[in-house]
Amino acid sequence: MNHIVIAEVLKYLFAEKKTFLDRTDIIVFTATTNDEVLKIHRKQKADLIITQLDMPGIRSEELFSAIRESEELKQVSTIIVCRDTLAQRERSRQCSANAVFPMPVDPTLLHIKAQQFLHVAPRMAYRAALAVAIQGRFKDRPLPFWTEDISASGMLIKAEEPLSVGDGVFFSFFLPDGRHASGYGEIARAVPLINARDAFYYGIRFTNVDPSVKSLIEETVRKY
């Protein structure tokens, strides 16, 4: 599971309906001040911090110094967004961030860099009929769901049935080339659809998938 801290003022850079942040293996925290960034990181041990120079609270130089000087906190990748001036670039350099993006920021390039730091596996959008059996519910009777996207580590599905985070699931579906994929997973995230009544997106994290099936999914994602 990857933990990301993002400055509230930078949320607009991730405003697309579907980004890598929607993945089941990513948890996002937002912060309005540098003090909150540090507080969240101390508690959650973030894998990536995306912040902006001159956030309210303690100076950014103090924030990054506290992170880099702590054995407990320094194992984190950092991205700073700053104004495109010589002074701001120099201050960002002094913070020893792993990457610096001057404004205006290209969201696509920012997303690519963030995924590189997180070593996030590729994912592809794929809509297909999906049979899912929820342990202890519906008498373990498979129900029709729809896949929205998949990766080697999990998938996003859409359904009308109210399910719970932590539910164990057995899934079965066919890939675009007709090959069959099945295995077990766990619901890691549940998000109600704003524009659809009584419908939900569920993020499934794979927990028990045969290596051959995992390789099959990885091959399909690369291909398509």
Domain span holding position 207: 123-223
- pLDDT for 6 equals 96
CB 124 within 8 A of CB 149: yes
- pLDDT for 4 equals 94
**Rounded to an integer, what distance in angstroms lies between the CA atom of residue 216 and that of residue 32?**
42
**Rounded to an integer, what distance in angstroms lies between the CA atom of residue 137 and that of residue 178?**
29
Name the CA dihedral angle for 10, 17, 2, 41, rounded to a multiple of 10 degrees. Answer: 30
The number of distinct structural domains making up the chain is: 2
Q: Do 8 and 114 lie in a common domain?
A: yes
Q: Do 71 and 168 lie in a common domain?
A: no
pTM above 0.75, yes or no: no
Q: Do 215 and 184 lie in a common domain?
A: yes
- pLDDT for 139 equals 45
Q: Do 13 and 97 lie in a common domain?
A: yes
Q: Do 133 and 203 lie in a common domain?
A: yes
Can you give the CATH number for the domain in which 39 is found? 3.40.50.2300
Give 188's pLDDT tier (boundaries 50, 70, 90). Answer: confident
> What's the pLDDT tens digit per position in 45-73?
999 999 999 999 999 999 999 999 999 99
